[in-house]
Amino acid sequence: MLEKSFGLLFFLKQSKKNKTNERYIYLRITVDGKSKELSTKRLCNPSIWNPTSGRAIGNSEEAKTINSLLDTLYYKSLQAKKILLDKDEEVTAEGIRNILLGVSEKKKMILEIYQEHNDQVEALLHKEYAPGTLQRFRTSLDHTRAFIKWKYKREDLEIHKLDYDFISSYSFWLKTVQNCSHNTTVKYLANFKKIVLICLKSGWLDRDPFIRFKMVKKEVHRIFLTYEEIKRIENKKFATDRLNHVKDIFLFSCFTGLAYIDVKLLSRSQIVTGIDGEQWIFTKRRKTDTPTRLPLLPKALDLINRYKDHPTCIDGTHVLPVLSNQKMNSYLKEIADLCEINKPLTFHIARHTFATTVTLSNGVPIETVSKMLGHKSLKQTQHYAKILDTKISHDMMALRKKLS
């Protein structure tokens, strides 16, 4: 950093309120030709003042007291300059004056920084971020706000208060007060860690409060339907159109692997002729904005054609008459009961079923399954391969034949 011209000068200034001959002593701080003035709040008679030295003259008790005060202020000004240099901040007359007056910078607050981050995510919606990502950060911000109120009884907290105890207590609060599972807790803490990284990179935090805090997810057993259970649902005729529609939409997801929101938003324009002359779905996953190219199996095509004249689908904006996710899951519980399937059936289980029973179990390579699911990495898809005893059985049978 280049050395700047720097000057300190004490001078007398007449006050409009003070009618006596005495005048107030002021300090003028000058850096690179720009000045700021500061009152010492001390009066001095001009008869004992030396304008050249900027000090009181004589050996009187008053002169000695004034000069002692001014010397102290002089050295405090030099110390303020050093503080700015040590913090690698620009040395300015205003900066030095603010330190002398005890006027500090606006404190950086956790929730303010979090809100600024979320505002940026919202501004980049559909460009760099999916709606689900924004919602996740909004929920995480709400949790952080509630935790700070619970632990610190405050509306917000300075970032320098972030430490291991904060993170550890936050984890405890999520698991107990919010009743979050271990993996959900880790997800919320991972969202919060992004805000911590912003603070670290911006130089607002000296050390990472997550150091020594373990954030390892527990492996989850993903529920999926067997081929026999799929057939049981497929062959079941329900008394109401409501359940029959939900059944068909669920089966469509079983044979395509599309998540609920992607089925709901699927339009006719996204069904095109692929490289092999067959019908494909060309879309993007709403959750991650990842492109998905998916050849349609005959059963999925049959379901599409079954609803082409449905009032919801006739204009082509929707392929299937999808209800709200809440209603779909509620009706799927009825379907599970009526089909005597002892599993907590939800719409997302259809996606797991496509990955396991429909594709991997039938020898479709994991790389192909990963692409069709719209996964960003193969690691996401490998979770499905771990739970397939049938795949292990098939591979070992091939090995037995080879060895014999």
Q: For residue 144, give the CATH number of its domain.
A: 1.10.150
pLDDT tens for 38-97 read: 999 899 999 999 999 999 999 999 999 999 999 999 999 999 999 888 877 788 898 899
Q: Are residues 172 and 144 in the same domain?
A: yes
Q: How confident is the model at residue 1 (pLDDT cuts 50, 70, 90)?
A: very low
Kindly state whether residues 294 and 246 are assigned to the same domain.
yes
318 and 399 in a single domain? The answer is: yes
- Asked if residue 50 is part of any domain, the answer here is yes
Domain co-membership, 89 together with 114 = no
In a domain, 218, yes or no: no
Same domain? 247 vs 385: yes
Same domain, 115 and 93: no
Asked whether residue 233 is domain-assigned, the answer is: yes
Regarding whether 382 and 267 lie in a shared domain, the answer is yes
Same domain, 249 and 281: yes
Q: How confident is the model at residue 291 (pLDDT cuts 50, 70, 90)?
A: confident
Q: What is the pLDDT of residue 365?
A: 86
Cross-strand pairs, 6: 31
115 lies in the same domain as 259: no
288 and 391 housed in the same domain = yes
Q: Mean pLDDT across the chain, nearest whole number?
A: 89
Same domain, residue pair 382 and 235: yes
**Same domain as 256, residue 386:** yes
Instruction: Flag whether 208 is in a domain.
Output: no
Confidence category of residue 31, pLDDT binned at 50, 70, 90: very high
- Examine residue 1 and state whether it is found in any structural domain, yes or no: no
Q: Within 13 Å, how many C-alpha atoms sit on residue 128's CB side?
A: 6
Cβ-count burial 113-144 (b if 16+ within 10 Å, e if not): bbbebbeebeeeeeeebbeebeebbeebbebb
Residue 217 lies in a domain: no
Q: From 48, 78, 101, give the residue that closes a domain.
A: 101
Total of domains in the chain: 3
Domain that holds residue 156: 110-201
Nearest-CA neighbor of 292 among 368, 374, 380? 374
